[in-house]
Amino acid sequence: MKDFSSEDNSPEYFYMGLYVLVGAGALMMAVGFFGCCGATRESQCVLGSAIRHVQTMYEEAYNDYLRDREKGNGTLITFHSTFQCCGKESSEQVQPTCPKELLGHKNCIDEIESIISVKLHLIGIVGIGIAGLTVRKFQNIPSLTPKKP
């Protein structure tokens, strides 16, 4: 296998890693933006797409765990403890990642949708608060404020 730290290709691999990180950040920003906009405007379409993105992330973590028990373990545990659910159709395949205090089976795909829908107003308030803080913070940066004549 070729050495990744060879002098010829080091900058190329460095920039490739940066592009991947920028792309992942842009994707996360888009999901957050759609979620906040959908919650504040109570738009069913935008909020539905944000919910679908979270459900897709769960399904990918679920499938990663089924392929390799170590790969998706932490992500699946976080989803299960946050939404107090376990698995999709059944919880037998992912039982080690389920919360101990959870009694019975709760489908995580349904639970994600119901929790986000129930907490719609809270998500909107938090989104507006974060947007307000961001705008306020940028007003205090000297290089971004307009100069007085």
pLDDT per residue as tens digits for the range 59-89: 888 888 888 877 767 888 888 888 888 888 8
Say if 79 falls within a structural domain: yes
Say if 60 falls within a structural domain: yes
Say if 37 falls within a structural domain: yes
Contact 94, 62 (CB under 8 A): yes
* DSSP state, residue 98: S
CATH at residue 33: 1.10.1450
- For 46, the domain range is 22-117
Nearest to 83 by CA among 109, 61, 103, 59: 109
Domain count of the fold of the chain: 1
Say if 12 falls within a structural domain: no
Q: What is the pLDDT of residues 18-42, one digit of tens each?
A: 788 888 777 777 777 777 776 666 6
Say if 14 falls within a structural domain: no
Say if 137 falls within a structural domain: no
The whole model's pTM is what? 0.54
Say if 108 falls within a structural domain: yes
* DSSP state, residue 32: H
